[in-house]
Amino acid sequence: MSDRTQTDLPPADDDDTVPGIQIRNLYKIFGPDAAKHVEAARAGMTKTEMNRKYGHTLGLKDISTDLPAGKISVIMGLSGSGKSTLLRHVNGLIMPTAGEVLIDGQDVAAMSPDQLRTFRRHKTAMVFQKFALLPHRTVMENAVYGLDIQGIGRDDSAKRAQHWIERVGLKGYENRYPSQLSGGMQQRVGLARALTNDAPILLMDEAFSALDPLIRMDMQSVLLDLQKELGKTIVFITHDLDEALRLGDKIVILRAGEISQQGTGEEIVLNPQNDYVRAFVKEVNRGRVVRLRSILRRKADGLDWPQLHLPGNTTLEDAAKRLMDAPGDLVTVLSRQGQPRGVVGLEDIMRSMLASPKAA
């Protein structure tokens, strides 16, 4: 529309300007002579071509991304896209063939074995898809496991663990064993163990994928509530776009070891860059992802601002619900500073919710 203003995206928070994890030109080739084939990958050799010609597997190809501190970054893609491989580079479980993984300015790949061991114990914690609980340990004993490894006394570690056991909803189950718990409860133990370790970086490898849908939604809510309180740097792996959109402040979509697109969920849904991404977002409920700030238009001259005022980051779905009970069919869209920036009508909302995704 000719009277459309700028999208009025709010200025970045300070945390967004300094990434918690910087990944630079990362390559991972699996095979006995991996380093010899980096140049071929840089020159454009595909995963299929490298396997056919050299018998090596190109796991990651020229990955560069910034994962912001204190936010949830979601890495997603289909099976074999390289998402778990990329995650394991963050804590050095897999070392790159070329490139850097920088955390606090230090390259994980350049750490000595002692430095890497200390880094894993104090800087990162991991939650696994298959829970990875020790079957002979109780809930409490599993939760304190990381602190046991660090040599922290049990009185102190048990106090810390008790706090997180209660926070994830397992009070009263401290002395149960994993075999006595449901899948959802076991995953809560895994989360409590990671939080007890008090690491600033939390790595979650398809942590909720093995759970039933309702339990999975519940665990997503638990994670979002905890993140509001803790503000950790979280890297979350999934193959489910709905989960990525619900959790992710930033989303990185991988395909065959390469980044297909990265950005906020709203950016990806509104402007898919290729057919691969477009296929992912085709069935997305846009009303739960797109914000008013992305569709606002200029107020017509001579008219008052609509009575209903909503922040620019309000989802279209929430705005539509509010408009149903408001006078008129227009809403005033506010900037982050609370100033009117434009208007959106119910017709604008419905059109945007029903629109088909278009490539940029």
Provide the percentage of residues in the chain whose pLDDT is more than 70: 93
Query: Of the ranges 83-87, 131-135, 174-178, which one carries the lowest mean pLDDT score?
Result: 131-135
Arithmetic mean of pLDDT over the chain: 89
- Give tens-digit pLDDT for 238-278: 999 999 999 999 999 999 999 999 999 999 999 999 999 99
Q: Which CATH number fits domain 67-95+108-123+199-284: 3.10.310.70, 3.40.50.300, 3.20.20.10, 3.90.1150.10?
A: 3.40.50.300
- At the top level of CATH, which class does the domain 287-354 belong to? alpha beta
Provide the percentage of residues in the chain whose pLDDT is more than 90: 69
| Confidence check: pLDDT of 66 > 90 | yes
pLDDT at 3: 39
| Residues 71 and 24: beta-carbon distance below 8 Å | no
User: Would you list the domain boundaries of the chain?
Assistant: 67-95+108-123+199-284, 287-354
Give DSSP secondary structure letters for 329-348.
SEEEEE-TTS-EEEEEEHHH
Q: Average pLDDT, stretch 167-193?
A: 92
CA 311, chain centre distance (Å): 24
Q: Average pLDDT, stretch 171-187?
A: 92
H helical segments located in the chain: 14-17, 38-42, 47-54, 83-90, 113-122, 139-143, 145-149, 154-167, 183-196, 213-230, 241-247, 265-270, 275-281, 316-324, 346-354
d(CA 41, CA 58): 8
| Confidence check: pLDDT of 13 > 80 | no
CA 330, chain centre distance (Å): 33
Reported as a pLDDT band with limits 50, 70 and 90, residue 19 is low
Taking alpha carbons only, the member of 223, 226, 204, 202 closest to residue 129 is 204
| Confidence check: pLDDT of 232 > 50 | yes
